[in-house]
Homo-oligomer: A and B are copies of this chain.
Protein backbone atom coordinates (compact mmCIF):
# COMPACT_ATOMS: atom_id res chain seq x y z
CA UNK A 1 0.00 0.00 0.00
CA UNK A 2 2.62 2.53 1.00
CA UNK A 3 4.72 2.16 -2.10
CA UNK A 4 1.68 2.94 -4.22
CA UNK A 5 1.85 6.52 -2.98
CA UNK A 6 5.15 7.20 -4.62
CA UNK A 7 4.27 5.40 -7.85
CA UNK A 8 0.59 5.64 -8.60
CA UNK A 9 0.31 2.83 -11.12
CA UNK A 10 3.33 0.60 -10.88
CA UNK A 11 5.37 -0.58 -7.96
CA UNK A 12 9.01 -0.35 -8.98
CA UNK A 13 10.07 -1.49 -5.53
CA UNK A 14 9.78 -5.16 -6.33
CA UNK A 15 11.35 -4.60 -9.71
CA UNK A 16 14.51 -3.21 -8.16
CA UNK A 17 14.64 -6.07 -5.70
CA UNK A 18 14.68 -8.48 -8.62
CA UNK A 19 17.07 -6.42 -10.70
CA UNK A 20 19.46 -6.15 -7.77
CA UNK A 21 19.34 -9.89 -7.26
CA UNK A 22 20.15 -10.57 -10.90
CA UNK A 23 22.96 -8.05 -10.75
CA UNK A 24 24.35 -9.71 -7.67
CA UNK A 25 24.38 -13.08 -9.36
CA UNK A 26 26.10 -11.69 -12.43
CA UNK A 27 28.75 -10.00 -10.36
CA UNK A 28 29.61 -12.75 -7.95
CA UNK A 29 29.03 -16.06 -9.68
CA UNK A 30 29.94 -17.85 -12.87
CA UNK A 31 26.73 -17.98 -14.84
CA UNK A 32 25.81 -19.90 -17.89
CA UNK A 33 23.20 -18.20 -20.03
CA UNK A 34 20.78 -20.14 -22.14
CA UNK A 35 18.11 -18.98 -24.52
CA UNK A 36 14.98 -21.06 -24.72
CA UNK A 37 11.92 -21.09 -26.95
CA UNK A 38 8.35 -21.99 -26.10
CA UNK A 39 8.10 -25.67 -25.31
CA UNK A 40 11.76 -26.20 -24.47
CA UNK A 41 12.58 -28.07 -21.30
CA UNK A 42 15.09 -26.36 -19.02
CA UNK A 43 15.43 -29.68 -17.22
CA UNK A 44 13.32 -32.74 -16.82
CA UNK A 45 12.11 -34.84 -13.96
CA UNK A 46 14.60 -37.45 -12.85
CA UNK A 47 17.52 -35.67 -14.48
CA UNK A 48 20.55 -35.43 -12.26
CA UNK A 49 20.58 -32.26 -10.18
CA UNK A 50 23.52 -29.90 -10.45
CA UNK A 51 22.28 -26.44 -11.30
CA UNK A 52 19.76 -23.99 -10.06
CA UNK A 53 18.16 -21.80 -12.71
CA UNK A 54 17.15 -18.19 -12.46
CA UNK A 55 14.73 -16.67 -14.94
CA UNK A 56 16.19 -13.62 -16.66
CA UNK A 57 13.35 -13.26 -19.13
CA UNK A 58 10.42 -15.26 -20.35
CA UNK A 59 7.93 -17.35 -18.53
CA UNK A 60 8.06 -20.95 -17.31
CA UNK A 61 5.90 -23.68 -15.85
CA UNK A 62 6.88 -26.56 -13.62
CA UNK A 63 5.10 -29.77 -14.47
CA UNK A 64 4.93 -32.65 -12.08
CA UNK A 65 4.04 -36.01 -13.50
CA UNK A 66 2.91 -38.90 -11.42
CA UNK A 67 3.33 -42.60 -11.81
CA UNK A 68 0.47 -43.24 -14.16
CA UNK A 69 0.61 -40.28 -16.47
CA UNK A 70 -1.28 -37.73 -14.42
CA UNK A 71 0.29 -34.42 -15.32
CA UNK A 72 0.10 -31.36 -13.13
CA UNK A 73 1.30 -27.78 -13.49
CA UNK A 74 2.47 -26.99 -9.97
CA UNK A 75 3.97 -23.55 -10.36
CA UNK A 76 4.69 -20.67 -12.69
CA UNK A 77 7.94 -18.74 -12.84
CA UNK A 78 8.64 -15.21 -13.99
CA UNK A 79 11.70 -13.02 -14.19
CA UNK A 80 13.85 -13.33 -11.10
CA UNK A 81 12.30 -16.59 -9.96
CA UNK A 82 14.48 -19.59 -9.19
CA UNK A 83 13.85 -23.06 -10.54
CA UNK A 84 15.14 -26.46 -9.59
CA UNK A 85 15.16 -25.93 -5.83
CA UNK A 86 13.18 -29.10 -5.29
CA UNK A 87 16.06 -31.09 -6.74
CA UNK A 88 18.48 -30.32 -3.93
CA UNK A 89 17.31 -32.95 -1.49
CA UNK A 90 17.83 -36.10 -3.48
CA UNK A 91 20.03 -35.21 -6.42
CA UNK A 92 17.29 -35.34 -9.01
CA UNK A 93 14.92 -32.72 -10.31
CA UNK A 94 11.37 -33.31 -9.21
CA UNK A 95 9.58 -31.70 -12.12
CA UNK A 96 9.86 -30.74 -15.73
CA UNK A 97 10.64 -27.05 -16.21
CA UNK A 98 9.09 -25.93 -19.46
CA UNK A 99 9.47 -22.58 -21.20
CA UNK A 100 6.16 -21.08 -22.26
CA UNK A 101 7.72 -18.35 -24.35
CA UNK A 102 11.13 -17.41 -25.63
CA UNK A 103 13.33 -16.33 -22.79
CA UNK A 104 16.71 -16.49 -21.16
CA UNK A 105 17.62 -18.48 -18.10
CA UNK A 106 20.77 -18.41 -16.07
CA UNK A 107 22.20 -21.68 -14.87
CA UNK A 108 24.31 -21.60 -11.73
CA UNK A 109 25.97 -24.60 -10.21
CA UNK A 110 24.60 -25.34 -6.77
CA UNK A 111 27.99 -26.31 -5.36
CA UNK A 112 29.54 -23.16 -6.78
CA UNK A 113 26.80 -21.11 -5.19
CA UNK A 114 27.46 -22.61 -1.80
CA UNK A 115 31.17 -21.89 -2.13
CA UNK A 116 30.67 -18.36 -3.35
CA UNK A 117 28.28 -17.72 -0.50
CA UNK A 118 31.19 -17.84 1.96
CA UNK A 119 32.57 -14.67 0.42
CA UNK A 120 29.23 -13.20 -0.60
CA UNK A 121 26.59 -14.09 1.99
CA UNK A 122 23.98 -12.13 0.04
CA UNK A 123 23.90 -15.01 -2.42
CA UNK A 124 22.58 -17.26 0.27
CA UNK A 125 20.05 -14.68 1.30
CA UNK A 126 18.85 -14.45 -2.28
CA UNK A 127 18.45 -18.18 -2.66
CA UNK A 128 16.77 -18.62 0.70
CA UNK A 129 14.43 -15.78 -0.09
CA UNK A 130 13.46 -17.44 -3.34
CA UNK A 131 12.81 -20.75 -1.62
CA UNK A 132 10.86 -19.11 1.12
CA UNK A 133 8.66 -17.21 -1.34
CA UNK A 134 8.04 -20.37 -3.28
CA UNK A 135 6.91 -22.18 -0.14
CA UNK A 136 4.62 -19.32 0.67
CA UNK A 137 3.24 -19.27 -2.83
CA UNK A 138 2.61 -23.02 -2.69
CA UNK A 139 0.68 -22.57 0.52
CA UNK A 140 -1.42 -19.87 -1.07
CA UNK A 141 -2.16 -22.18 -3.97
CA UNK A 142 -3.21 -24.94 -1.61
CA UNK A 143 -5.46 -22.60 0.29
CA UNK A 144 -7.02 -21.48 -2.95
CA UNK A 145 -7.51 -25.05 -4.15
CA UNK A 146 -9.01 -26.16 -0.87
CA UNK A 147 -11.26 -23.28 0.10
CA UNK A 148 -12.36 -21.42 -3.01
CA UNK A 149 -14.98 -22.30 -5.61
CA UNK A 150 -13.87 -22.45 -9.21
CA UNK A 151 -14.90 -18.89 -10.12
CA UNK A 152 -12.92 -17.45 -7.27
CA UNK A 153 -9.88 -19.57 -8.04
CA UNK A 154 -9.81 -18.13 -11.54
CA UNK A 155 -10.12 -14.64 -10.11
CA UNK A 156 -7.31 -15.45 -7.70
CA UNK A 157 -5.20 -16.65 -10.58
CA UNK A 158 -5.66 -13.35 -12.40
CA UNK A 159 -4.79 -11.43 -9.26
CA UNK A 160 -1.69 -13.57 -8.79
CA UNK A 161 -0.65 -12.88 -12.37
CA UNK A 162 -1.21 -9.17 -11.97
CA UNK A 163 0.79 -9.20 -8.73
CA UNK A 164 3.65 -10.99 -10.46
CA UNK A 165 3.66 -8.33 -13.18
CA UNK A 166 3.42 -5.58 -10.62
CA UNK A 167 6.44 -6.86 -8.72
CA UNK A 168 8.38 -6.64 -11.95
CA UNK A 169 7.32 -3.10 -12.71
CA UNK A 170 5.05 -4.07 -15.58
CA UNK A 171 1.59 -2.81 -16.25
CA UNK A 172 -1.08 -4.72 -14.42
CA UNK A 173 -4.24 -3.23 -15.81
CA UNK A 174 -3.92 -5.11 -19.06
CA UNK A 175 -1.97 -8.22 -20.00
CA UNK A 176 -1.94 -11.32 -22.10
CA UNK A 177 -2.43 -14.69 -20.52
CA UNK A 178 0.13 -16.88 -22.16
CA UNK A 179 -1.60 -20.09 -21.24
CA UNK A 180 -4.46 -21.95 -22.83
CA UNK A 181 -7.66 -22.53 -20.90
CA UNK A 182 -6.58 -26.13 -20.55
CA UNK A 183 -3.28 -25.15 -18.93
CA UNK A 184 -4.98 -22.71 -16.59
CA UNK A 185 -7.51 -25.36 -15.69
CA UNK A 186 -4.82 -27.89 -14.98
CA UNK A 187 -3.03 -25.43 -12.71
CA UNK A 188 -6.22 -24.55 -10.87
CA UNK A 189 -7.67 -28.03 -10.61
CA UNK A 190 -10.64 -27.63 -12.91
CA UNK A 191 -11.61 -28.35 -16.50
CA UNK A 192 -10.98 -25.96 -19.35
CA UNK A 193 -14.73 -25.45 -19.74
CA UNK A 194 -15.00 -24.30 -16.15
CA UNK A 195 -12.17 -21.84 -16.70
CA UNK A 196 -13.93 -20.49 -19.74
CA UNK A 197 -17.21 -20.10 -17.91
CA UNK A 198 -15.50 -18.42 -14.98
CA UNK A 199 -13.81 -15.90 -17.25
CA UNK A 200 -17.09 -15.24 -19.02
CA UNK A 201 -18.74 -14.64 -15.69
CA UNK A 202 -15.97 -12.27 -14.57
CA UNK A 203 -16.45 -10.36 -17.79
CA UNK A 204 -20.25 -10.34 -17.38
CA UNK A 205 -19.99 -8.70 -13.97
CA UNK A 206 -17.32 -6.35 -15.35
CA UNK A 207 -14.52 -7.44 -13.06
CA UNK A 208 -12.47 -8.07 -16.17
CA UNK A 209 -12.89 -7.10 -19.83
CA UNK A 210 -11.71 -8.86 -22.93
CA UNK A 211 -9.87 -6.61 -25.33
CA UNK A 212 -10.59 -6.57 -29.01
CA UNK A 213 -7.39 -8.51 -29.67
CA UNK A 214 -8.80 -11.83 -28.52
CA UNK A 215 -9.93 -13.75 -25.50
CA UNK A 216 -6.46 -14.05 -24.15
CA UNK A 217 -5.88 -10.36 -23.60
CA UNK A 218 -7.40 -9.26 -20.38
CA UNK A 219 -8.14 -5.80 -19.09
CA UNK A 220 -8.66 -5.34 -15.38
CA UNK A 221 -10.38 -2.03 -14.64
CA UNK A 222 -9.52 -2.22 -10.95
CA UNK A 223 -7.59 -4.91 -9.22
CA UNK A 224 -9.57 -4.49 -6.00
CA UNK A 225 -12.66 -5.73 -7.80
CA UNK A 226 -10.93 -9.10 -8.17
CA UNK A 227 -10.25 -9.25 -4.46
CA UNK A 228 -13.84 -8.29 -3.72
CA UNK A 229 -15.09 -10.95 -6.09
CA UNK A 230 -13.00 -13.62 -4.37
CA UNK A 231 -14.26 -12.56 -0.97
CA UNK A 232 -17.87 -12.51 -2.13
CA UNK A 233 -17.64 -15.96 -3.66
CA UNK A 234 -15.91 -17.53 -0.68
CA UNK A 235 -18.45 -16.34 1.85
CA UNK A 236 -21.54 -18.31 0.84
CA UNK A 237 -24.81 -16.48 0.51
CA UNK A 238 -23.71 -12.91 1.08
CA UNK A 239 -22.58 -11.86 -2.34
CA UNK A 240 -24.62 -14.39 -4.26
CA UNK A 241 -27.42 -11.97 -5.02
CA UNK A 242 -25.16 -9.18 -6.23
CA UNK A 243 -23.61 -11.26 -8.98
CA UNK A 244 -26.17 -12.77 -11.25
Contacts and interface: CB of A to CB of B under 8 A. Distances in A.
A44 interface: no
Q: How many copies does the complex hold?
A: 2
Interface stretch (A28-36, A80-88, A215-223): A80-88
A187 B147 CA distance: 10
Nearest to A185: B146
A66 B188 CA distance: 18
Main SS of chain A's interface residues? helix
Interface stretch (A68-76, A163-171, A175-183): A68-76
Interface string A214-244: 0000000000000000010011000000000
From A75, A121, A138, A234, name the one whose CB has the most chain B CB atoms within 10 angstroms: A138
A189 interface: yes
Interface residues of A, number: 47
A231 B68 CA distance: 7
Contact of A131 (B88, B145, B231): B88
Contacts of A140: 64
A141 B143 contact: no
Interface in A57-116: 62, 64, 66-68, 70, 72, 74-75, 85-90, 94-95, 114
Interface of A: 62, 64, 66-68, 70, 72, 74-75, 85-90, 94-95, 114, 118, 121, 124, 128-136, 138-143, 145-148, 186-189, 231, 234-235
9 contacts: A72-B143, A74-B143, A88-B128, A88-B131, A94-B136, A131-B131, A131-B135, A142-B142, A147-B189
Closest 7 CB pairs of A and B: A146-B189, A89-B132, A88-B132, A138-B138, A72-B143, A86-B135, A74-B139
